[in-house]
Chains A and B, each alone.
Chain A
């Protein structure tokens, strides 16, 4: 059963999507089965949220609108979880 989900959230973390936030986002993404991608623009380019090298390499700054989309059996839960992580400023739940 495959589903798709998409959402967006503003990065409020002081340093943006840098080293430590990137690690947390990637670890969370990897805990889901769905394919998960992020982008700083609705039209892309989209990058694999499970790739620590690509996520950290995106250097997404504070204030950026982060788009999150997922496809797979737990897509909805995955997108919600990632948005929630960004909303709570990457603090562990």
Chain B
């Protein structure tokens, strides 16, 4: 069972004041689907987020999280929920995950979201780095959440 810890590891990339992220609609960027990157490694998550920022630009809400609550490799439901919050967009949020626990913890994080947000968050079945860049590119053009997810997952079929 997941136990929340005050020491969970999370980060964000170039998103402005984190406390101001509730002002959905005030920022035009929030009309594009947001991207959340979840890895067991904070370095991987941050690096993937850096790639999205540098390659795709600033038009996509973006957040990442990685690392176990007590340090070391792992993921945390609480950190994932916080990342979803930072990348929140009325258009929804697409999550990219790396391995096993990242996916199950992301599913748990989605389940714990408020009712009005739960149906607007999806996990993409795609490689974390490549999927994040593909999803980010699609999102930057104002595409729907479903379209963003399909673009990330199209990689597997290619």
Contacts and interface: CB of A to CB of B under 8 A. Distances in A.
Number of chain B interface residues as a range:
10 to 19
Interface residues of B, dominant DSSP:
helix
B117 to A, nearest CB: 26
A27 B158 contact: no
A56 to B, nearest CB: 8
A31 B57 CA distance: 15
A33 interface: no
Contacts of A53: 134, 151, 154-155, 158
A20 interface: yes
Given A23-B55, A52-B134, A53-B134, A30 B141 contact: yes
A16 to B, nearest CB: 16
A19 B48 CA distance: 14
Interface string A64-84: 000000000000000000000
Contacts of B140: 27
Interface of B: 54-57, 133-134, 137-138, 140-143, 151, 154-155, 158
B58 to A, nearest CB: 12
Interface string A26-37: 110011000000
Contacts, number: 35
29 contacts: A19-B133, A20-B54, A20-B55, A23-B55, A23-B137, A26-B137, A26-B141, A27-B56, A27-B57, A27-B137, A27-B140, A27-B141, A30-B141, A30-B142, A30-B143, A31-B141, A50-B141, A51-B151, A51-B154, A52-B133, A52-B134, A52-B138, A52-B151, A53-B134, A53-B151, A53-B154, A53-B155, A54-B158, A56-B134
Contacts of B137: 23, 26-27, 52
Nearest to B51: A19
A57 interface: yes
B151 A23 contact: no
A9 to B, nearest CB: 21
B94 to A, nearest CB: 14
A70 to B, nearest CB: 16
B88 to A, nearest CB: 22
Contact of B56 (A23, A50, A56, A57): A23
A68 to B, nearest CB: 18
